[in-house]
Amino acid sequence: MKQKAYAAAGVDIDLGNKVKATLPRLLASTHRPEVLGKVGGFGGLFALDLKKYRQPVLVSSVDGVGTKLKIAFALDKHDTIGADLVNHCVNDIAVLGAEPLFFLDYLGTGKLEPYVFTEIIKGFARACSENNCSLIGGETAQMPGFYQSGEYDVSGTIVGVVEKSRMLNGQKTVKRGDLVIGIASSGLHTNGYSLGRKIFFDQLKLTPKSRVPGLKGSIGEELLKEHISYGPLVQKLLKRFNFQAPGPKSPLPVKAFAHITGGGFVDNIPRVLPKSLDVLINKGSWDMLPIFQIIEQKSGVPDEELYQVFNMGIGMVVIVSADMAAPALKFIRAQKHQAWIIGEVIKGTGAARVV
């Protein structure tokens, strides 16, 4: 049979359709009862249950994985990338108190490789299921000549919901004397990889398969560790400490969350601070992961920049009232997350400083 002209030009629609035929089975685990219609329509359908809310506020976010993809290409390991993206997006809306409802993905590549596509989608589906978030649609674009051979890009959009009266706004609630709890990351998560790759592969002359003392696996495996989702933990914290407050006018113990992504501590924490207050983060107040110890010791990059590029082992911070910091810390650790009190809120100008 003569090859179709579009396939000869590099875009195989029939292959795409064949690969996408497996999607309904993969996405079944992410199904929520609010989802309407079938996979493959022009738009995903989600009927929000308005009876559960007095004033529902929809919260959305969009993101990518960045140059962490280069590590996946080098190791030919693609089953974690989808989860990285979902978890990153979940965390971005969790800081407002929102629970995720549904997620849509975009995958662009030069040539569609069925096993790579399947592995990525498996990661999306697994993470959506773990976050009780439906994967209701997406787009796969074949663009020959646009991407280098064997490479692709992914991005995703998440939509969640929060009751308006329960929406977190640290700029109104954070007070002087509040304490900062840091919750452990698994590694670089999805930020700082352009600098990380330069340090490890250009400066230190390692390869993704190199073994480094202090790390359990190869440097590539360490760099591919999944971005942790803090979404379920955030909901449990709010339910335990804020939703059971004595009265509507009682000060809430959990004031704010900041997802430590691009911009590190320096750029992310100020997003939830009043302009009259600073957060002081104390170096050495948490157990730094070996990967960051290596970066700190061998990169030659000043600490000031490291704490603005990387999460340095803290993936999420929680600002809580001082009197509830100890019980909140105990609760977080009981949920199997490592956490420490790493700083405090002081008088200032809306900045975060690491000392």
Do 159 and 175 lie in a common domain?
no
Q: pTM of the entire structure?
A: 0.93
**Domain CATH code at residue 317:** 3.90.650.10
- Which of 130, 165, 200 is at the close of a domain? 165
In this predicted structure, what is the pLDDT of residue 247? 54
Cα–Cα distance measured from residue 115 to residue 288, given in angstroms and rounded to the nearest whole number: 36
For the chain, how many structural domains are there in total?
Answer: 2
- Which of 138, 165, 192 is at the close of a domain? 165
Do 120 and 52 lie in a common domain?
yes
Do 11 and 160 lie in a common domain?
yes
Do 118 and 234 lie in a common domain?
no
Domain range enclosing 337: 170-354
What is the 3-class SS of 64-85, one letter each residue?
ECHHHHHHHHHHCCCCCHHHHH
Torsion of CA 208, 311, 306, 293, to 10 degrees: -60
Do 133 and 174 lie in a common domain?
no
Do 145 and 271 lie in a common domain?
no
Do 109 and 126 lie in a common domain?
yes
- Which of 141, 165, 189 is at the close of a domain? 165
Positive or negative torsion for Cα 89, 90, 95, 100: positive
Do 225 and 286 lie in a common domain?
yes
Burial of 43 (0-12, 13-18, 19+ CB in 10 A): exposed
Do 248 and 161 lie in a common domain?
no
Burial of 234 (0-12, 13-18, 19+ CB in 10 A): buried
Torsion of CA 201, 207, 209, 215, to 10 degrees: -40
Mean pLDDT of successive 10-residue stretches along the chain, which has 355 residues: 68 71 73 81 89 96 96 96 97 98 95 91 95 92 92 97 95 96 98 96 96 92 97 97 69 94 96 97 96 95 96 98 97 98 98 96
- Structure tokens given for 290: 């070996």
**Domain CATH code at residue 116:** 3.30.1330.10
Do 191 and 83 lie in a common domain?
no
Do 48 and 154 lie in a common domain?
yes
Do 118 and 182 lie in a common domain?
no
In this predicted structure, what is the pLDDT of residue 244? 72
Cα–Cα distance measured from residue 189 to residue 94, given in angstroms and rounded to the nearest whole number: 16
